[in-house]
A and B are shown apart, each in its own frame.
Chain A
């Protein structure tokens, strides 16, 4: 686990930011206004998918933490 590629870090940051952004979309937009490719989209529904948002935020935060650790000094854990 001693390889720390800038591509991996960049990709992790990108995925993390996208997931956090998706979480905000889930919290702000009702199910009917979600893009059709997002899980939970439902035409005519005023329901806010709060739980989907929390799940997306958790994974996003985890990926960002992973990216943060990848930029640090190498430790043998």
Chain B
């Protein structure tokens, strides 16, 4: 029962609250889960098996919240996928089917790269110092995306119709592959997808919506794949903390997605870019002295 002394309920609650926000805000949840324990002087390390089990639970909670938040959309999307399979093609006016296949095409590269590279990248870049540097680079990426964004004329009034019209399958594949950046602690999955969305001509709001839809299967699948670790011996002594952290993560994830969809109606990625750059540079300077 060594794990109970390694992660307390207070730490679990703080990390859970942080996970729910930072997974959906384009500021890298993995980077924050590496940097924050170091800043607070906690003896928690990214690659400790019990901590990975804890993260699995909080990620699963975030994925469930995202799925439930967009439940009506997912029902329409799955029906659209079914229609297109039945008809062996996507009808030009079938927005749900097009969006569904865009999500499938975007999820495949992210899933494969995640499956094959996750362990190696996490092992190599697990230090708080490197996470801080990559967090700063994440800020540069977000700011660059705002500078280089394409501005397309939008005629559709429906969110999904706009996304389906603006994003092609090659673009969706590229945006999905960009999610692999998030395997490196410091880079943000939602940041990479939102940046990709802006580059193909989506508005900030549509890019955020596409990012959240794209994130749900990946975060959920990754968590489900590792769920046996939580219920195996690696989860011994940490399941209670994982449950507490997951509940906190679910609450903040819900408010984060609500806030961000409203925020991006009239705002840009720039504030998050500034935060990542400032926090990353500051942490990169401070952490070596801790």
Measured CA separation A75–B85 after assembly (Å) = 13
Expressed in whole angstroms, the minimum distance between the Cβ of B131 and any Cβ of chain A is: 24
Please provide the chain A residues from 54 to 77 with a CB less than 8 Å away from any CB of chain B in the complex: 54-55, 58-59, 62, 65, 68-69, 71-77
Contacts of B84 in A (CB 8 A): 69
B14: CB under 8 A from chain A? no
Q: Is the CB of B116 within 8 A of A51?
A: yes
Measured CA separation A71–B104 after assembly (Å) = 20
B108: CB under 8 A from chain A? yes
- Flag B76-114 by CB within 8 Å of A: 1 or 0 each: 000000001101111110000010000010001001100
> Which residue from A58, A73, A77 sits with its C-beta under 8 Å from B111?
A58
Q: Is the CB of A68 within 8 A of B88?
A: yes
Q: Is the CB of B89 within 8 A of A62?
A: no
> Which residue from B91, B108, B111, B116 sits with its C-beta under 8 Å from A75?
B91
B152: CB under 8 A from chain A? no
Expressed in whole angstroms, the minimum distance between the Cβ of B79 and any Cβ of chain A is: 17
Nearest residue (CB) in B for A56 is B112
Which of A54, A62, A68, A75 has the most C-beta atoms of chain B within 10 angstroms of its own C-beta? A75
Q: Is the CB of A75 within 8 A of B90?
A: yes
- Flag B20-59 by CB within 8 Å of A: 1 or 0 each: 0000000000000000000000000000000000000000
Size category of the A interface is 10 to 19
Nearest residue (CB) in A for B116 is A55
Could you tell me the dominant secondary structure of chain B's interface residues? Answer: helix
Contacts of A51 in B (CB 8 A): 115-116, 225
Q: Is the CB of B112 within 8 A of A69?
A: no
Q: Is the CB of B115 within 8 A of A54?
A: yes
Contacts of A73 in B (CB 8 A): 87-89
Measured CA separation A52–B89 after assembly (Å) = 30
Measured CA separation A51–B98 after assembly (Å) = 28
Expressed in whole angstroms, the minimum distance between the Cβ of A50 and any Cβ of chain B is: 8
Measured CA separation A76–B94 after assembly (Å) = 11
Contacts of B111 in A (CB 8 A): 54-55, 58
> Which residue from A54, A55, A58, A69 sits with its C-beta under 8 Å from B89?
A69
Expressed in whole angstroms, the minimum distance between the Cβ of B16 and any Cβ of chain A is: 27
Expressed in whole angstroms, the minimum distance between the Cβ of B163 and any Cβ of chain A is: 14
Measured CA separation A55–B107 after assembly (Å) = 12
> Which residue from A54, A55, A71 sits with its C-beta under 8 Å from B88?
A71
New A-B pairs, 19, CB < 8 Å, besides A54-B115, A58-B108: A51-B225, A52-B115, A54-B111, A55-B112, A59-B108, A59-B112, A62-B108, A68-B88, A69-B84, A69-B88, A69-B89, A72-B87, A72-B89, A73-B87, A73-B89, A75-B91, A76-B92, A77-B92, A77-B98
Which B residues fall within an 8 A CB radius of A? 84-85, 87-92, 98, 104, 108, 111-112, 115-116, 225
- Would you list 30 pairs from A and B whose C-beta atoms are within 8 A, ordered by A residue? A54-B111, A54-B115, A54-B225, A55-B111, A55-B112, A58-B108, A59-B108, A59-B112, A62-B104, A62-B108, A65-B85, A68-B85, A68-B88, A69-B88, A69-B89, A69-B90, A71-B88, A72-B87, A72-B88, A72-B89, A73-B87, A73-B88, A73-B89, A75-B89, A75-B91, A75-B92, A77-B89, A77-B90, A77-B92, A77-B98
6 smallest CB-CB distances across A and B, nearest first, come from A72-B88, A75-B89, A72-B89, A51-B115, A55-B112, A55-B115
